[in-house]
Amino acid sequence: MGTRRPRVTDWRLVVQSRLDRVRADLAALGPPDPLDLESQQWREVARQEAAVVDDMINREESRLKTVASWWSGWHIERAWRSLHEAEIAVVAAGDGFLGRLPGLKARVAENLDEDDPRRVALEELRPGEFPLSIEREIVVDALRASFDKSDFAHAGSRALRNKLIAASVVLFVVNTLLGVIGWTQPGWIPMCVGSERLPTVCPSGKAAAGADVWLIQVLGAFGAILSAVVLLLRRRPSLSPYVMIGYQATIKILLGAALAVIGILALGAGVTTGLIGVASQAALLLWAVILGYSQQIATRLLDSYTDRVMDQARPLPRLEGQR
């Protein structure tokens, strides 16, 4: 099995641009001072970490290894962690890093709480207050803490993505089994609804048919797609290397199909007698769509949790009215 070149993706473009900036900053430092061994060490760390980043974003792998890397996310997270270390090393290698304090403080404030001692120490730092080596340590410690929190959030985003994929696979298998059973054994999963006062109606007509379960699932999925469109419209942009919205939409669609089947079974069992009456085939199909859309009640909690995870991974400015 041959190797394949890595695809051009958003995270690779961002990492590459920041890697180019690191190398430009490193070159701008000029020739190293032979007597400043600490600066030389930081420059060497920056070069080594930059080489690791370059390898991660340009590495060629076989298709099997590409899938494994995509699932584990190790190449993405290794690239970001090495990039962060390279950025820290470039800052620490120069003597004029205190001139970058406003930008450094803003970057640290994105990830560390206001009462974090490392953030407090950086914000209270005044040039010339301490020896250069101590000031360098304060800056490096604050940056590392900020980047570590961001990197851990990336790992949390990947874990959530993998859970969404696993749940989608389970829902897909369940829906497929229900459809196959309904197709091969019509009536085993009754999709017809009737009562003493109303005639019996089925999704495909007056009698049970093999396509009933599939039809209900398709209509339930259609109802779920409507809620997925709403999700797309209200979704804020994200700079995270893991984009969740496609997996969230998949969960909604598959869950909508399953809930439509369960809801129609409940109607046929008389659970809603006296509350809901299905007098025609059109009404039954409409209820399948409504039941598919109803998955929004359950997945709204998932959407809120995903928003929190993504905001931690790549924090964005708060919207007006948010606290």
Predicted pLDDT at 240: 63
Sign of CA dihedral 148, 150, 156, 161: negative
* Max Cα distance, the chain (Å): 97
pLDDT, the chain, mean: 84
Give the CA angle between residues 127, 128, 130 to the nearest 5°: 105
**C-beta of residue 53 within 8 angstroms of C-beta of residue 79:** yes
Over residues 9-33, the mean pLDDT reads 87
**More reliable by pLDDT, 27 or 239:** 27
> Is 45's pLDDT higher than 70?
yes
Of 86-90, 108-112, 241-245, 317-321, the poorest mean pLDDT is in 317-321
| Per-residue pLDDT at 323 exceeds 50 | no
Non-local CB neighbours of 243 within 8 Å, separated by 6+ positions: 10
pLDDT at residue 193, as a whole number: 87
Instruction: Say which DSSP state 4 is in.
Output: E
pLDDT, tens digit (0-9, with 9 covering 90-100), for 200-223: 888 887 788 889 999 999 999 999
Q: Does pLDDT of 315 surpass 50?
A: no
> How many Å apart are CA 157 and CA 159, to the nearest integer?
5
Whole-angstrom distance, CA of residue 203 vs CA of residue 212: 6
Quote the CA–CA distance of 323 and 321 in Å, as a whole number.
Answer: 7
Separation between Cα atoms, residue 271 and residue 263, nearest integer Å: 10
The residue type found at 129 is E
Of 58-62, 97-101, 102-106, the one with minimum mean pLDDT is: 97-101
Q: Which residue has the tokens 């079974």?
A: 265
**Bigger pLDDT: 275 or 250?**
250
Residue 78: count of CB within 10 angstroms of its CB: 16
With a cut of 70, say whether residue 313 has pLDDT above it. Answer: no
Q: Which of 223, 229, 267, 266 is nearest to 245 (CA)?
A: 229
